[in-house]
Every structure is written in C-alpha cells, then in structure tokens.
Copies of this chain bind each other. A is one copy, B any other.
Amino acid sequence: MRGDKSTDADGGTAGSGAAGSAGGPAPVTLREVAREAGVSYATASRALNGSDRTVREENAARVREAAARLGYLPYLPAQAVARGFSSTAALVVADMDDPYFASIAVGVVDAAEEAGLIVTMAVADRTPELEVQLVHKLRGHRPQVIIVAGSRIEGPQDALVAELEAYRSAGGRVALISQEGLPFPTVPIDNYGGARALARTLVDLGRDGFGIVHSGDRIHTSRDRRQGFTDGLREAGLEPVLIEEAFSRDGGRRAGRSLHPEVRTVFAVNDVMAIGVSSGLREAGRVPGAEVAVAGFDDVEEARYATPALTTVRVPLREIGRLALRIALDPGGDTAGAGVRGSAGGGGRDSVRDGAWVSPKGAARVPPEGAAGAVVRVPPEVVVRDSTPGRSACGGSASG
C-alpha cells in the first residue's frame, strides 16, 4: 500500500454523514466537490488525482477537505473511460480450492494492492476452453494486466495465445505462471530441476523401490516433474514404477490404496496428491512414512502439517504470484530474482535450466511493450522431512 498518488479523499472511512434524504442519494460527483470547494471542476480533478500536480496548496487543501466532507469517491469506471485504461489486474486461476493456486492468488492480490490495482478474478476449473472464454470476458474490463495461472494441458493453445495476443496488441500486459513456451512473460517453476534434485536427495538418503504417482504427460507440470524425477533416478541407475491418477487429492488416494507392495518410496507429482497417497496407503493398511516414504512437490502449508510431514520441493508460491504481477507491469525490469530469497537448499546445481527462451512466432508483430518472453527463474529447494527412512509415522521423535 503505497501512500503516494493516492486517489482517496476521505481517509478510508465512510463519510456520507449528513445524507438527510433517504431516497438513494446519488453518489457525490467531482463537480459537486468542486463547487463546494469554490474551484473549477478541472482544478478539483487535478487536486485529487493529479497526473502532474500543479495546484496551489491552498486550493488543493480546500478540495480535499470538501471531498472528505461530502464523502466523495472517485468513480473508477469513469476514470477508466477517460484515461483509456482501468485500474484493475485480471487473474485467471485453474482451481481456487487448491492451495497451490490460492497462494499464488494471495501473492497477486497483494502485489496488485501495492500497485494500486484491484484484481478481478476468475476460476477456469482446469478447463482450457473456459480459460480462454474467461480471459476474453475479463478483457472487456480493460485490465492493466492479465495473469494466467493454469495447469497447462497438452493441446493447441492457439485460442489462448490469440486472445492474449489481441489483448496485448491493444496495449495490455500479460504474465503467465509456470507455462513456458508461450510468447509472453512467464514466471516459470523449475519442475524438472526440482524433481530431479529431489530424486537425487532421496537416493542419497538411501531410499529405494521408487514409484511415481503422476497424472499423465498431457499435464505439463506432471510431465516435467515425472521426467525430472525419472532422470534423477536414472543417474543412479534406478528405474521407477509409474502410476497414473487424477491430479487431485482423491487421485492420490486411489493410487495409494493400490500401490504395488514393492514400492517403498513414492513421489507424487504434487503435495496435494501426495497427501492423498498417504491417506490411501493407510486405507490399505500400510504405514506411510515408515514402511513407505512419500514425497511431494510445492511445499504447500498443508503438507507441513501432514502425517508424515512431506518431503517436498519448496516453491515460493506467494512470491511467484507477486512476481507475476511485477513482471507484467514492468517486463524487462529489475524484477529478476527479486523477492525470492531462500538458498538453493538441496536443489543445487542445474536448478537453472535453459533460461533464455526465445520468442518463436508472432512476437515480431507486436513491438516494444517490453520483452515478450521474459523469464524469471525461481529456484526450487528440496525440503526433507519425516518421510525419510528411519522415522516412524506415528510416535513423534521430539522431546520423548
């Protein structure tokens, strides 16, 4: 919440005070404020919103005072019409009930707030078609930026790209989260590298009998994580058993319920599924953590309180959300790496893959507006917890 350039007049508190008549008092308009303050309409405008403030302090004060007294509230839609752009940021997420997206949303909303924007949000329900329709609809509000955080699914993305391209060519800024390969600034998540590092860490800890619960290669996130983990394993000469299930808690649960007896270490492609796996294992009478270790990916808060606590790869979701808004607002800015502290933990080297991604198509058509394929890497970090060998799922080790 930066204080400068504030457009607020009445300190954030209601001020319709007087309002004697009861019949839907038309909201106070800037014109009234001007009259009340004894200055011109234009002056009032300048005093309250000042693109380049050039108004005698005395008058400015009078205007502010009048505005406060009348409870004036700038009519944002009107401002948008006059200025040509609104003060909103649009966000499309795949599923708000998933803590992964919820955290990203928090980050976006937070950063937007700081930038003086309010966010309009839509939930695409993990359906590509709906997603396109939503950005289209959102576009009507002429947001200053559009951020799309969906689980990218295999298939033609032409519609989405076209929609976004159209938006950008009209002056809008877009940012994507974890869906590289599209000609827009993206906050990537190193799914491959993180998963690979995780695999190596587990191998180093002496685990074996690996299994991967994933959701098929059509879902990019799943594919990359599966791939990374597999490669990490292969470097140690190991080969995992693959189990495919839905990208959800329940999918994980089903997988856990019928997990092959020889799998003693299972990596679920995300924390939510991993938690489901643990649950499923228990339903099958097995003990997750001791008998079979389970690891996930994301380090969602929930995972830290699960039993056994998940070994996972930390992904700074909130920061990623913030970052998305920032790179959208200021592509090519000094945003790179900003706000993402945290060591590389166990992730270590090769955390950074090919950073540079070059815009393939269309980008030529659309000039400046900042680089189109900006990529800011967020380093993954392996977090080892309870599910490692010697620990039991039940009795905690603490104090005892």
Contacts and interface: CB of A to CB of B under 8 A. Distances in A.
Nearest to A394: B394
A364 interface: yes
A243 interface: no
A71 B363 CA distance: 18
A106 B105 CA distance: 12
Contacts of A162: 13-14, 16
A155 interface: no
A307 interface: yes
A259 to B, nearest CB: 13
A119 interface: yes
A360 to B, nearest CB: 6
Interface in A300-338: 301-302, 305-307, 309
Contacts of A8: 136-137
Interface in A120-153: 120-123, 132-133, 136-142
A282 B395 contact: yes
A16 B117 CA distance: 26
A392 to B, nearest CB: 8
A33 B394 CA distance: 68
Given A80-B77, A365-B22, A367-B22, A12 B284 contact: no
A287 B394 contact: yes
A348 interface: no
Residue from A110, A171, A301 whose CB has the most chain B CB atoms within 10 Å: A301
Given A283-B396, A363-B24, A141 B118 contact: yes
B398 A283 contact: yes
A109 B285 CA distance: 40
Given A166-B15, A361-B22, A109 B122 contact: yes
Interface string A328-354: 000000000000000000000000000
A171 B24 contact: yes
Contacts of A88: 120, 141
Given A22-B366, A24-B171, A118-B120, A16 B96 contact: no
A152 to B, nearest CB: 18
A397 B253 CA distance: 15
Contact of A74 (B132, B140, B171, B369): B140
Lowest 8 A-B CB distances belong to which pairs?
A285-B400, A14-B162, A24-B364, A77-B80, A282-B396, A16-B166, A22-B361, A307-B307
Interface of A: 7-8, 10, 12-16, 19, 22-27, 71, 73-78, 80-81, 86, 88, 96-97, 99, 102-103, 105-106, 109-110, 113, 118-123, 132-133, 136-142, 159, 162-167, 169-171, 249, 253, 275-276, 278-279, 281-287, 301-302, 305-307, 309, 360-367, 369, 393-400
